[in-house]
Amino acid sequence: MQALPQSLLNSVERSRENSRLKRLTKLQADCSRLGMFDASQLHAALDDPNVAEHYQQWAKRIDELRITALAGGVNRGDRRALFHLIAAFKPDEVLEIGTHIGASTVYLASALASRPGAAAPTGRLTTVDIIDVNDPAAKPWLRSGSPCSPRDLLARLELDWAVEFIAQPSLTYLSGAERKFDLIFLDGDHSAATVYQEVPKALRCLNPGGLILLHDYFPNGKPLWSNKLVRLGPWLALNRLAEEGCELRVVPFGELPWETKLGSSRSSLALISSGQSPVA
Ligand SMILES: C[S@@+](CC[C@H](N)C(=O)[O-])C[C@H]1O[C@@H](n2cnc3c(N)ncnc32)[C@H](O)[C@@H]1O
């Protein structure tokens, strides 16, 4: 049987995502706590040679863990971008939605726990997944080809003290969270309907000046890589929020100074910062 062309699959996904999104009533999104981080600050962060040196020290240790690149975790180039962003933005409290095998978790934790020049450990990470990613009976990491649980990966790096694991749906966690965060990374269910609900709740969980980071953000709903695949959810959700008057700006990471996937250096990471501009 012949495979359907990716462009056809993309249009099917677009109409499915749109129809689920339209069923949701308008939500109030208060952007007043959002901080500002523009494209020039982002590129300065990615090009910072001091961070690059610090990253190389961690990357050597992390590579020994043999985190698989084939299990839907954030790709290695994007993980490096997370490390640089943390080093530049210097959040104290970070929330990750979507732990999975812990690929991004490990890089967020290593950057948070050890800023260059800091005399003491500097930050904490809370990571949420709809399943118990460390369940010793079900061992979900094995299904994804990862050698050990996210908690064990962190323990091997002596970073387990810096991370709290929560097994809950994102919307439940964000509705009840008492803690506030400087950076919230949304990498869970990437559907438009879920991201449309996650962002207003995440905005309420931010410390003043905080930022939200998206994964699988495809600017203008266009493919980023040669495989032509598009995940439309985050982009459709942010478009709707902007159309409804939410004062936010999406800053896509674009081309990184290193390889990401499929022989390219393109990234699907994007920051939600304050400001008013059309959502690309
Ligand atoms: C793309 S993976 C995250 C990859 C991870 N950041 C990494 O680099 O290894 C998405 C994860 O989100 C989780 N997830 C899906 N829907 C969710 C929801 N509504 N709330 C919380 N987690 C969810 C899935 O169980 C899955 O582990």
pTM attached to this predicted model: 0.96
Q: Is residue 130 part of a domain?
A: yes
| CA–CA gap between residue 125 and residue 145 (Å, rounded) | 24
Closest atom of ligand 1 relative to the 150 alpha carbon:
9
Q: What is the mean pLDDT of residues 170-197?
A: 97
Is 72 touching ligand 1 by the criterion CB < 6 Å? yes
Question: Residue 161 gets which letter from DSSP?
Answer: G
Is 74 touching ligand 1 by the criterion CB < 6 Å? yes
Q: Is residue 5 part of a domain?
A: no
Expressed in angstroms and rounded, the spacing between residue 96 Cα and the centre of ligand 1 is: 9
pLDDT in tens, 97-128: 999 999 999 999 999 987 766 656 678 999 99
Domain that holds residue 214: 34-274
On the question of pLDDT at 238 being above 80, the answer is: yes
Q: Could you give the C-alpha distances from 267 to 135, 157, 270, in angstroms and in order?
A: 31, 26, 8
Contact call for residues 214 and 238 (beta carbons, < 8 A): yes
pLDDT in tens, 139-181: 999 999 888 999 999 999 999 999 999 999 999 999 999 999 9
Q: Is residue 11 part of a domain?
A: no
Q: What is the mean pLDDT of residues 234-262?
A: 96
Q: Is residue 262 part of a domain?
A: yes
Q: What is the mean pLDDT of residues 39-66?
A: 94
Domain count of the fold of the chain: 1
Is residue 26 left, alpha or beta, with left meaning phi > 0 and alpha meaning psi from -120 to 50? beta
Q: What is the mean pLDDT of residues 226-232?
A: 93
- The percentage of residues in the chain with a pLDDT greater than 90, rounded to a whole number, is 84
Domain containing residue 172: CATH number: 3.40.50.150
Contact call for residues 133 and 167 (beta carbons, < 8 A): yes
Q: Is residue 7 part of a domain?
A: no
Q: Which pLDDT score, from 0 to 100, does residue 116 have? A: 64
Q: Is residue 261 part of a domain?
A: yes
Task: Give, using CA atoms, the residue closest to atom 19 of ligand 1.
Answer: 169
What one-letter code names the amino acid at 123?
A: G
Q: Is residue 279 part of a domain?
A: no
Q: Could you give the C-alpha distances from 170 to 99, 181, 187, 199, in angstroms and in order?
A: 11, 15, 10, 11
To the nearest 10 degrees (0 to 180), the angle between helices 6-22 and 233-243 is 40
